[in-house]
Amino acid sequence: MDKPAFASRAVHGCQGHDPHTGALSFPIYQTSTYVNAEDDWPYCYSRVQNPTREELEKTVALLEEGDYGFAFASGLAAVLAVFSLTKAGDHVLISDDVYGGTYRLIEQIWRRYNIDFTYVDMGDLDAVKAAFRPETVMVFIETPTNPMMKVADIAAVSALAGEAASRPLVVVDNTFLTPYYQRPLTLGADIVLHSATKFLAGHHDTTAGLIVTKGDALAESMRLFLKTEGTGLAPFDSWLTLRGIKTLPLRMDKHQANAVAAAEFLQNHPKVEKVYFVGLPEHPGYAVSQKQASGFGGMLSFSLKSSAGAEKVLRGGDMILFAESLGGVETLITYPMTQTHASIPKDVRDKMGITDRLLRLSVGIEDTGDILRDLEKMLALAGD
Ligand SMILES: *Cc1c(COP(=O)(O)O)cnc(C)c1O
C-alpha cells in the first residue's frame, strides 16, 4: 500500500493496536517500572519512557512528517523543553502576540537565566530580519497568533533564519491549525510544538503537549529534557490524546465550517466592530495562509463597538460557554484581557489590540444554526 493518507494515519496511529495481545485500542500501560526481561530491554522507568506515550509520540511524528515525537504533561512543558535548548547569553526572537502562558514563562522565569527575548511581528519580514543578532539561537513563531490571528510566512522566516550568521533554529507553535491543516517541518521549520490540550486531544478532558523534531541531534536533546525535567505525559493522558487524534480531520472540518459561518454572521452584526478570522479574504494573512496551510481552523476573535455589556455577552449564551481554553468540541467564548492574556501588562495589551471590547471564540462542532442563534442572543446584551 502507498503511504496512507492523513486521515488513515490519524485513525491507525503508529502501531495502532497492541502487538502483544491484539487489543485494538492501544493499551494504557499504567506502570512506573518494568521487569528487565533481557539485556537492552527498551523500557526501564516510565518517566523515561512508557509504551502508551511512545505510541502517541510516534503517531504525532507521522502526522507532522518529522522524525521524532515527544509527549509532555502540557503545552507549556513542551515550550519549557524548547527553551531548554538555550543557554546564558543567548537571544531568541518570538512572535509579539505569543500565548499568554509562554509570555509569563519568558518574563517571570526564563529571563532570570540571562537569556534575552525580543518580541517581533513575524508577519513583517523586514522587522524579523532587522531583529537578528549574532547571538540569536532561536526564532519562535506562533501562527496564527492568539488572539489577534496574525499570520507568519513560515517558509520565508525559515529562509531568513537560514541566512542569519548564527543559524537559529526555527520553532513553530502549531496549536491552532494542527498538522491536519499545516505542517511546519515541511516548510523549513526545525521543531514543531503543540498544546495537544486543544484540537489534537479535542474534548476539553486532558492537558498535553507535543514536540516533533527533524534529525537525531535535536531528538537527543528533547529526550534528555523530557526524562531529566520529568515533564513526560502520563499513560492515561497519552491514551486520551491518541483517542482524540483519531477523529482530528472530521472535527477540524466541522470546526472550520462553523467558524466560517460564525465569522460571516458576526461581520454583518450591528454591534460588532471587527472580526479577526484568517478565513476571511480581507484578512491580511489570507494569501500567506492559502499558500502554507490547507485550512484556517476554528478560532476567531471579534471586537464589540462598545465595551458596555461585554461581561453580559460572555455569560449570556445558553450553549456557548464562558471558559478559558480552546480546541474542544464545545464552543467556548473567552475574554483575553482578563483570562488568557491577564499576565501581559496593560500597555502591551493595548498595543496588541487586546482591549475590553475584544472577545475570542473557539468554535465547536455543534449544529451551525444553534451556534448562530446563541450568538444572536448573546449580542443582544451588548451595548450600542
Ligand atoms: C494553550 C496554549 C499553549 C499552552 O498549552 P497548555 O497545554 O495550556 O500548557 C501554548 N500555545 C498555544 C498557542 C496555546 O493555545
Tell me: the pLDDT tens digits for 299-347? 999 999 999 989 999 999 999 999 999 999 999 999 998 888 887 888 8
Helix axes of 248-267 and 235-246: crossing angle, nearest 10 degrees: 70
Q: Assess contact for 55 and 191: CB atoms under 8 A.
A: no
User: Which atom of ligand 1 is nearest the CA belonging to 325?
Assistant: 1
Q: Could you tell me which of 329, 284, 289, 352 has the C-alpha nearest to residue 146?
A: 352
Cβ of 256 less than 6 Å from ligand 1:
no
In this structure, which amino acid lies at residue 209? G
Q: Which strands, in side-by-side order, build the sheet including 169-173?
A: 68-72, 209-213, 191-195, 169-173, 136-142, 91-95, 116-120
Terminus-to-terminus CA distance in the chain, angstroms? Answer: 60
Distance 336 CA to ligand 1 centre (A): 14
Q: What is the mean pLDDT of residues 81-93?
A: 98
Cβ of 90 less than 6 Å from ligand 1:
no
Q: Could you tell me which of 83, 297, 49 has the C-alpha nearest to residue 176?
A: 297
Query: Cell digits for 89?
Result: 547569553
User: Which atom of ligand 1 is nearest the CA belonging to 209?
Assistant: 7
Query: Which residues fall within 8 angstroms of residue 309, CB to CB, at 6 or more apart?
Result: 381, 382, 383
Return left, alpha or beta for 161; rule: phi > 0 is left, psi -120 to 50 is alpha, else beta. Answer: alpha
Residue 270: asked if its preceding bond is cis (omega within 30°), the reply is no
Tell me the pLDDT tens digit for each residue of 4-38: 999 999 999 999 999 889 999 999 999 999 998 88
Distance 371 CA to ligand 1 centre (A): 25
The residues that are catalytic are 47, 99, 173, 198
Q: What is the 3-state secondary structure (H, E, C) of 157-221?
A: HHHHHHHCCCCCEEEEECCCCHHHHCCHHHHCCCEEEEECCCCCCCCCCCCCEEEEECCHHHHHH
Cβ of 143 less than 6 Å from ligand 1:
no
Nearest-CA residue for atom 6 of ligand 1 = 75
46 or 343: which leads in pLDDT? 46
Q: State yes or no: pLDDT of 1 exceeds 80.
A: no
User: Which atom of ligand 1 is nearest the CA belonging to 102?
Assistant: 10
Q: What is the reported pLDDT for 342? A: 83
Q: What is the reported pLDDT for 26? A: 96
Cβ of 197 less than 6 Å from ligand 1:
yes
In this structure, which amino acid lies at residue 340? T
Is residue 330 classed exposed, middle or buried when 0-12, 13-18 and 19+ CB atoms within 10 A define those classes?
Answer: middle
Best residue among 176, 195, 340 to mutate for probing ligand 1's pocket (most ligand atoms within 8 Å of CB) is 195
pTM: 0.97
Cβ of 340 less than 6 Å from ligand 1:
no
Distance 93 CA to ligand 1 centre (A): 18
Q: Give the DSSP letter of residue 327.
A: -
Helix axes of 368-379 and 248-267: crossing angle, nearest 10 degrees: 40
Residue 51: asked if its preceding bond is cis (omega within 30°), the reply is no
The percent of residues above 90 in pLDDT, for the chain, comes to 91
Distance CA 77, CA 318 (A): 34
Q: State yes or no: pLDDT of 168 exceeds 90.
A: yes
What distances in angstroms separate CA 293 from CA 151, 267, 278, one per listed residue?
Answer: 11, 23, 11
Cβ of 146 less than 6 Å from ligand 1:
yes
Q: What is the DSSP string of 89-126?
A: T-EEEEETT--HHHHHIIIIIGGGGT-EEEEE-TT-HH
Tell me the pLDDT tens digit for each residue of 246-285: 999 999 999 999 999 999 999 999 999 999 999 999 999 9
Confidence of residue 350 (pLDDT cuts 50, 70, 90): confident
